[in-house]
């Protein structure tokens, strides 16, 4: 088979897998809203562009023949998801968010694409030894063991996992949740979605980085020179270099 044709097949296969991944990430939001995990209605207290938030928090591998995604699910994502249930009080939303607030939650799908498009996924025990978070100070954090995770949080994750599996089949079944501490030893938040900073995740030999704050959680900025509507995380207009306030 000519090398050019083989490369085209591989590229097409990877595009299909990435398109599937993008679709199921969007479905996750709907699933969390509609699944009734909370058992009580929640008010819509946070106005967030869900697609923009997901785009900023998910990262995908560029390695050939892989279907690998890492997704940082910050506190604000969960708050938004919980609040979509109409009629809830702020106290109810806060009660749910408090369950996940002590943790930095990373969701990982790590698969290898075979020659005929089949995906072989890594198990949670295979991924756990090769995953770590590096905070803005360079400190390394390993995933917490089950004994270090609050029982309410464990129960919540136990309820979420079947929703992913039922909605997305093998992809959902192979989504693994890794919980890291929310703060470093200095008491600083490892990943604060609304404040300036950065952190990264290392998965084997690959590293995925996030620059903060997330623009999707901030009011948009308007360039006073050209009038362009820009991400709230921008410091300068990308078109004319004007400093943004």
Provide the pLDDT confidence category of residue 151 given band limits of 50, 70 and 90: very high
Cβ(73)–Cβ(57) under 8 Å? yes
pLDDT at residue number 47:
64
Domain ranges of the chain: 3-213, 215-245
Say how far apart CA 113 and CA 107 lie, in whole Å.
19
Question: H/E element holding 209?
Answer: strand 206-212
Choose from 28-42, 160-174, 176-190 the range with maximum mean pLDDT: 176-190
Q: Count CB atoms within 10 A of the CB of residue 244.
A: 17
Cβ(129)–Cβ(143) under 8 Å? no
pLDDT at residue number 57:
93
Question: H/E element holding 210?
Answer: strand 206-212
Predicted TM-score of the model (pTM): 0.77
**DSSP symbols for 59-122:** EE--STTEEEEEEE--HHHHHHHHHTSTT--HHHHHHHHHHHTTEEEEEEEEEEE-TTS-EEEP
Say how far apart CA 138 and CA 113 lie, in whole Å.
33
pLDDT digits (tens, 9 = 90+) for 216-236: 888 888 888 898 887 777 888
pLDDT at residue number 93:
81
Average pLDDT of the residues in 201-230: 89
pLDDT digits (tens, 9 = 90+) for 129-138: 999 999 999 9
pLDDT digits (tens, 9 = 90+) for 70-95: 999 999 888 887 777 676 678 888 88
Of 149, 40, 47, which is closest to residue 100 (Cα–Cα)?
149
What percent of the chain stands above pLDDT 70? 79
Q: What is the mean pLDDT of the chain?
A: 80
Provide the pLDDT confidence category of residue 28 given band limits of 50, 70 and 90: very low
Cβ(70)–Cβ(82) under 8 Å? no
pLDDT at residue number 79:
83
pLDDT at residue number 44:
41
């Amino acid at each position: 088979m000519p090398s050019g044709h083989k490369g085209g097949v591989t590229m097409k296969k990877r595009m299909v897998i990435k398109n599937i991944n993008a679709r199921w990430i969007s479905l996750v939001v709907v699933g969390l809203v509609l699944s009734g995990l909370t058992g009580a209605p929640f008010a819509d207290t946070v106005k967030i562009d869900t697609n923009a938030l997901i785009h900023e928090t998910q990262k995908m591998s560029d390695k050939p023949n892989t279907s690998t995604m890492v997704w940082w699910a910050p506190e604000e994502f969960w708050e938004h998801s919980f609040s979509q249930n109409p009629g809830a009080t702020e106290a109810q939303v806060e009660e749910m968010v408090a369950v996940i607030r002590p943790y930095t939650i990373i969701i990982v799908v790590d698969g290898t694409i075979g020659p005929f498009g089949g995906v072989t996924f890594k198990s949670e025990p295979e991924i756990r030894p090769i995953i770590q978070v590096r905070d803005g100070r360079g400190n390394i954090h390993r995933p917490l063991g089950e004994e270090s995770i609050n029982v309410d949080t464990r129960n919540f994750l136990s309820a979420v996992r079947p929703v992913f599996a039922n909605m997305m089949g093998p992809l959902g079944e192979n989504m693994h949740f890794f919980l890291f501490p929310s703060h470093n030893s200095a008491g600083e938040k490892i990943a604060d979605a609304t404040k300036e900073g950065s952190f990264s995740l290392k998965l084997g030999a690959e590293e995925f980085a996030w620059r903060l704050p997330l623009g999707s959680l901030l009011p948009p900025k308007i360039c006073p020179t050209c009038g362009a509507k820009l991400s709230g995380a921008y410091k300068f207009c990308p078109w004319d270099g004007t400093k943004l306030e």
